[in-house]
Amino acid sequence: MQPTSPLTLHWDEAELNQQAGTEDPINCVEWCIARGILPDLAQCPHDGGRRRLKTRAERQAVQWRCGTCERSVSAFTGSIFSESHLAIGTLITMLLCFARGYSYEQTKVACSRTEKKAISNVALTRWGTILHDMVARCVSKYPKIGGERSVVQIDEALLGRRNYHVGRRLTRTWVLGMVDSAGKIKLEVCATRNSATLHRLMRKYARVGSTIHTDEWRAYRGLEQYGYNHATVNHSRRFVSSGVHTQRIESAWRWIRRTVRDKTFVADDELDQ
């Protein structure tokens, strides 16, 4: 089966429920299979028989059951959900909440429609870590981004988090962010923001020939010597008529600030102040 359109961030929980049928486990599993989120295990490998989806009401678990040999296998087999005991609707809702940067409490409320009991902070923390690490692995697949016909927007940001959510003291780190026209992103911790450090990181991750958009921080000067086309944007101006901007990476920072601080769902909004 060829996967169709995936989940979209324009949806809220109500739209997700309408599209994916998150309150009906079997319908939700079928929706996930059609989009490549779950594997299609309809054919039994033991006797070639046809499996059908069945539910186990006590846990809202969904299984593939063969009508010939009567063997069963979880619908989550071979997916990132393979070790989970949560309802499929809850897991899909959690994916949307993670992608949209929801807080613990917002995620609990959103998941309450598909889970019989309140989802715990332990489960949220575990899944936040799993999803965060998946994003990190996807990002690491791109050794370099950009190219001759691509714009790479570059910006640095001071990110921080509160250790164990206790107190007001924050651990802060400078991070260089890059995103190209295809949406591929690179993040790298930089101990300093001087020319030597920033130039080294840009040469490491941005392909020669890329058009680089940055702000007017002086450490970015001189990129042309490495084969880049460099254009800057003056953030003190309200309107930009030249077409040069860093809006894509600035938008990415808003999401990153709400997730990277503790590798899980948002606990508060202190860093947004």
Instruction: Specify the pLDDT at position 95.
Output: 87
58 and 95 share one domain:
yes
Instruction: Specify the pLDDT at position 115.
Output: 72
17 and 68 share one domain:
yes
- Among 139, 161, 178, give the residue marking a domain's end: 139
112 and 156 share one domain:
no
Q: What is the tally of structural domains in the chain?
A: 2
Instruction: Specify the pLDDT at position 263.
Output: 45
Global pTM?
Answer: 0.59
Assess if residue 172 is contained within a domain.
yes
Query: Residue 60 belongs to what domain range?
Result: 13-139
Assess if residue 3 is contained within a domain.
no
165 and 268 share one domain:
yes
Instruction: Specify the pLDDT at position 77.
Output: 93
Assess if residue 188 is contained within a domain.
yes
Instruction: Specify the pLDDT at position 235.
Output: 65
Residue 219 belongs to domain with CATH number: 3.30.420
202 and 92 share one domain:
no
22 and 128 share one domain:
yes
Q: What is the mean pLDDT of each run of 10 residues along the chain (273 residues)?
A: 49 82 90 92 89 78 90 92 88 85 80 76 83 72 85 87 50 84 86 91 93 92 94 68 77 70 42 33
With helix as H, strand as E and coil as C, how does the chain read?
A: CCCCCCCCCCCCHHHHHHHHCCCCHHHHHHHHHHCCCCCCCCECCCCCCEEEEEEECCCCEEEEEECCCCCEEECCCCCCCCCCCCCHHHHHHHHHHHHCCCEHHHHHHHHCCCCCCCCCHHHHHHHHHHHHHHHHHHHHCCCCECCCCCEEEEEEEEEEEEHHHCCCCEEEEEEEEEEECCCCEEEEECCCCCHHHHHHHHHHHECCCCEEEECCCHHHCCHHHHCCEEEECCCCCCCCCCCCCCHHHHHHHHHHHCCCCCCCCECCCHHHC
